[in-house]
Amino acid sequence: MLGGRMMELLRQKIENEGIVLSNQVLKVDAFLNHQIDPVLMHEIGQEFARLFKHDGITKIITIESSGIAPAVMAGLALHVPVVFARKRQSLTLTENLLTASVYSFTKNVESTIAVSNTHLSENDCVLIIDDFLANGEAAKGLATIAKQAKAKVAGFGIVIEKSFQPGRKELVQMGYRVESLARIASLEEGKVTFVREVQS
Ligand code: 5GP
């Protein structure tokens, strides 16, 4: 499925199955955050792979738990491993940690995310994938971790971007490439309004 059709499919899924919880928050538990639609995830993975296939990606990094499904599908398509940052302390993840502090938009808490430095090095060129981009906290945290490992960041692959929040702008100002498959302009009046793409 080519890029435009894939994005249309995702937009329809958001319109039909997404629930607007407030002017700020969209619930997509029907296909991404709780129940997962593997066919849609597969298409999403293919699309990220298409967008970044010439960038020499050696690894994908994401954050548990909702980034894992789209990231694994992209990893499968690009034939590269996927590393997910942990949000909770793990008994087995104790040494040589790369960490960043991230404020959670949905949970309202500050947490430390961690990746073992065994899985990331200066020879890596990483694609950072996440389910949502809001204020960019999770994305910036993952970029901080990549930088600690001296890995190169090729860009960000985001499934749903809420364009009315500052995440994209900040990442772009920092010089990063941001590819979002669905861009939401507003969640006002209980309705999802997408950013209108300029026709070229
Ligand atoms: P940010 O760090 O960019 O502020 O927020 C991104 C993270 O918060 C994502 O990893 C996602 O899990 C969560 N998130 C932010 N906004 C939403 C939303 O509207 N709906 C859902 N389901 N998760 C969100």
Cα(first)–Cα(last) distance of the chain, in Å?
20
Partners of 103 in beta bridges: 110
- For residue 162, the CA-to-ligand 1 centroid distance in Å is 9
- For residue 132, the CA-to-ligand 1 centroid distance in Å is 5
- For residue 130, the CA-to-ligand 1 centroid distance in Å is 9
Residue from 26, 28, 128, 131 to probe ligand 1 pocket by mutation (most atoms less than 8 Å from CB): 131
- Mind listing the pLDDT tens digit for each residue in 30-74? 999 999 999 999 999 999 999 999 999 999 999 999 999 999 999
The torsion of the CA quartet 68, 108, 14, 76, rounded to 10 degrees, works out to -10
Look at residue 77 in the predicted model and tell me its pLDDT.
98
Atom 8 (ligand 1) nearest CA = 105
Look at residue 105 in the predicted model and tell me its pLDDT.
78
| Ligand 1 within 6 A of CB of 161 | no
Entry field: residues in the chain? 200
Backbone phi and psi for residue 88, each to the nearest 5 degrees, phi listed first: -110, 155
Atom of ligand 1 nearest to the CA of 29: 22
Cβ-contact 68, 100 below 8 angstroms: no
Atom of ligand 1 nearest to the CA of 130: 10
| pTM passes above 0.75 | yes
Q: Give me the tens of pLDDT residue by residue for the chain, a chain 200 residues long.
A: 767 888 999 999 999 999 999 999 999 999 999 999 999 999 999 999 999 999 999 999 999 999 999 999 999 999 999 999 999 777 676 778 999 999 987 888 899 999 999 999 999 999 999 999 999 999 999 999 999 999 999 999 999 999 999 999 999 999 999 999 999 999 999 999 999 865 44
Look at residue 198 in the predicted model and tell me its pLDDT.
58
Look at residue 200 in the predicted model and tell me its pLDDT.
45
Look at residue 2 in the predicted model and tell me its pLDDT.
67
Atom of ligand 1 nearest to the CA of 133: 3
| Ligand 1 within 6 A of CB of 130 | yes
Backbone phi and psi for residue 115, each to the nearest 5 degrees, phi listed first: -135, 140
Partners of 52 in beta bridges: none
| Ligand 1 within 6 A of CB of 105 | yes
